[in-house]
Structure 1
Amino acid sequence: MSVLAPETVSLVDPGLYATGDPHPVWRWMRDNDPVRRYDATEYPAFWSLTRYDDIRTVFQDARVFSSARGILLRPHAHGKDPGGGRTLALTDPPRHKALRTLVADWFTTRSVRSLEDAMRGAVRRVVSRAATLGECDFVTDVAARLPLYVICRLMGVPDHEQEMLFSLTSKAFGAGEPETRSVAHQEIMAYFVELMYRRMDEPEDDLVSALVNGEVDGQLLSEEDILLNCDNLLVGGTENVRLAVSGGMKTFLDRPAEWERLRADRALMPTAVEEVLRWTSSATHIMRTVTEPVMLRDRPLEAGDRVVMWTPSANRDERHFENPDTFDITRRPNRHLALGAGTHFCLGAMMTRTEMRILFTELLDSEYRIEQTAPAVPLRSIVVNGLESLPVRISAR
């Protein structure tokens, strides 16, 4: 089968990810033009990276490849990212380390383990609720609920307010009309304004209190910085798990023998989780900005150049993964880049893996079977890779 060269395909066209297949294009680029220059369109000009080694090199060099000017391609019309240089994801050392230190205690091994029983209870309630619906959307009714419950708990959102926040995040980060998403996002920010002021008056043992009362370089964070970081933690704490679990479930539904293999041998769960992360690769792209002239392979990059890393391509690079287009729950080694690398390696990596392990384990242990009832709908996005919806029926076995 012939593969179209990138001249005929736009990697910044959301339609490619909703109705097409970018993997043949990325494969061609890995083989023929792994560091490729794209001229400005409605997006700024950028260098495109598709090989594992190059992407890992950029991830690990925060001095030359900066996050502070944004980590996603933005259309010219959208202007600069308001979080640039201010949030955990959009800062460089040493400020990044200082911000990370403020919140790191909630993502340690001890903290994650202390939440495991609560996570199991939450999953059981979520699955039982979904089963009563008959047909449901696995993405919103199952996969999205556990990570939101966990991050809400860490941020100090009271139990009785979590369903409201779930409804708002479903609208804000879903596939509805832009105006609806914008209004929902404004309501989320308004909620965190209120929660921020509550924690200023009465601090508690939670992430919002840590941001409100913590200091960076001897100074309290501004109110705007607190809100931007709350938003960053909410998105970062939910998106990876939602996309990985729903994409993983779709993969298992397409390959029922692998699901039954995992049911029969739970010792495979750790490698299965890693393979789901590699296979789904929820971040379609991550961007960095060059701070000084540097050579990448044989290409000269100048200060100010944008570098776009296609992480799903890195995780299918034949130079690092044997049979990369095969889903293999026994794959070892599996040093994927789905959770990043270097300074910005995902703060919640252990939490993400634990949530996935518990959710898949509870589904396998439950009295329910899961059947897909209609075609899955991929997201129309150049930012995140995954499903908008996965219609299923959850019923007693």
Structure 2
Amino acid sequence: MTVSTYIPADITDPELHASGEVHQLWRWMRQHSPVHWHEPGDLPGFWSLTRYDHIRYVYQHPDLYSSAHGVLLRPTVLGEDPGSGLTMALTDPPRHRALRGQVADRFTERCARSLADEMRTEIRSVVTRAIEKGACDVVQDVGARLSSYSIARLLGVEPADREQLLQWSTEAFESGKPLTSHVPLMRFFIDMMYARMATPAQDAMGMFVNNDVQGELLTETEILLGVENLVGASENAGLAMAAGVFALGTHPQQWQRLVRERDGELVRTAVEEVLRWTSSATHSMRTATVDTVVQGQRIAAGDRVVLWMPSANRDESVFAEPDRFDLGRQPNRHLALGAGEHVCIGSTMARHQMRMLLQTLAELVAAIEPAGDMEPLRSITVNGPAYATVRLVAQ
């Protein structure tokens, strides 16, 4: 079987992603080469999947497509992800289910509802502060702040330490390096881990430390990698919120619709459309466990398969007018938070937080006005603004 390696642009070029032109490439690939082989270079060779149905199928078949050998493209010289086989993101069932179950109680609908009043107060404070600034960076002043507060609360970080955690995690995120390479941040979590060993607690850190997985407690390395996994994933939620606010500012008719209908069903559909539109996780990778065939292409056991989620979420065969931002879009079965076994463990909490943010904005803000530059991230891993200046005009 002949495998074409031609595409009109380099899908691994961060500048292509920053410019937004990658959507044109994905559109071309969905039509002409939906299962596409990329020859090895600085990155290992891999298959690109760009159609919704193919990507959803891979998500739903962890027996055929494993997460245990890494879920992100890494330069060949770096070797395999050091967390492989150790964290929720980098394991397969049944180990994945056991690790997920260890902390699942902190991410349920019941838990989200129990935290609703605290979350609403926090969101109102953040939005009010952003309004008072006049012009604010929605990435740092809204998205990062809310996502950092949320994961800090779930881990059990004391309120007095949450601003420091925000600063450290922002520094690590901006450097593009693993959180484990940020020494003060990891010292903080190491101290917190030992504190939970001495005095158990029913927060996520306490559950990592004291709840067994398949009959055994996690090692210290596994605990810290698990914490890094959660904190890193929260950055995606922050990007989605920031990009969503910016999108509302550049789509005033949709914003006015939200203001008019903020107490109805529209808020729920708006959350899903923001998630689809922003698609803050750009790719996820799997490794084929057996020889498989997708769209006539033979994928060999051991081959890497990269799932491009923003492409799936703009697939014309699934979404009518996919390039239109429509807060009332129904149905909207996007893959922004994954699917199957690896659907984001924080998806319920993220939806609650985003719904409250949209309601609070609609209540307190008369207009969202772009007020300066928007600089996109240059990344093939996460999608969204590096910073975006807007003015939230008070009601």
TM-score by length of 1: 0.94
What is the aligned counterpart of 2:228 among 228, 231, 255? Answer: 231
Q: Deviations for 1:181-213, whole angstroms, at most 9, x for unmatched residues?
A: 879723222211111001101111100110101
- Give the structure 1 partner of residue 92 of structure 2: 92
- Give the structure 1 partner of residue 131 of structure 2: 131
- Give the structure 1 partner of residue 394 of structure 2: 396
- Give the structure 2 partner of residue 262 of structure 1: 258
SS of residue in 1 equivalent to 2:55: helix
Cα separation, partners in 2 of 1:247 and 1:228, compared to 1, 3 Å = same
**Aligned letter for 2:297?**
R
- Give the structure 1 partner of residue 302 of structure 2: 304
Cα separation, partners in 2 of 1:170 and 1:219, compared to 1, 3 Å = same
1:239, distance to aligned residue in structure 2 (A): 2.0
Task: Decide whether the 8 Å contact of 2:179 with 2:228 is kept in 1.
Answer: no
**Aligned letter for 2:196?**
R
Task: Decide whether the 8 Å contact of 1:241 with 1:355 is kept in 2.
Answer: no
Q: Say whether residues 1:378 and 2:376 are aligned partners.
A: yes
Task: Decide whether the 8 Å contact of 1:168 with 1:184 is kept in 2.
Answer: no
Q: Deviations for 1:242-263, whole angstroms, at most 9, x for unmatched residues?
A: 1111111111111111101111
Task: Decide whether the 8 Å contact of 1:119 with 1:146 is kept in 2.
Answer: no
Q: Deviations for 1:122-181, whole angstroms, at most 9, x for unmatched residues?
A: 11211222233332211101111112112111101011111100011111112x5x68x8
Q: Deviations for 1:219-254, whole angstroms, at most 9, x for unmatched residues?
A: 110000000000101112x22321111111111111
1:293, distance to aligned residue in structure 2 (A): 0.9
> Residues of 1 paired with 2:385 and 2:75: CA distance?
23
> Residues of 1 paired with 2:21 and 2:94: CA distance?
39
Task: Decide whether the 8 Å contact of 2:173 with 2:179 is kept in 1.
Answer: no
Give 5+ residue unaligned stretches, structure 1: none
**Aligned letter for 1:38?**
H
* RMSD, aligned CA: 1.7
State how 1:1-397 maps to structure 2 within 5 Å. Answer: 7-174=7-174, 176=175, 185-236=182-233, 238-266=234-262, 267=264, 268-366=266-364, 369-397=367-395
> Residues of 1 paired with 2:307 and 2:179: CA distance?
27
Aligned residues: 389
1:367, distance to aligned residue in structure 2 (A): 5.1
**Aligned letter for 1:205?**
Q
SS of residue in 1 equivalent to 2:269: helix
More divergent stretch after superposition (159-168 vs 119-128): 119-128
SS of residue in 2 equivalent to 1:11: coil
TM-score by length of 2: 0.95
Q: Deviations for 1:271-310, whole angstroms, at most 9, x for unmatched residues?
A: 1111111111111111000111111121111111000011
**Aligned letter for 1:11?**
I
More divergent stretch after superposition (84-93 vs 358-367): 358-367
Structure 1 residue ranges, 4+ long, deviating more than 4 angstroms after superposition: 181-184
> Residues of 1 paired with 2:181 and 2:146: CA distance?
20
- Percent identity reads 49
1:214, distance to aligned residue in structure 2 (A): 1.4
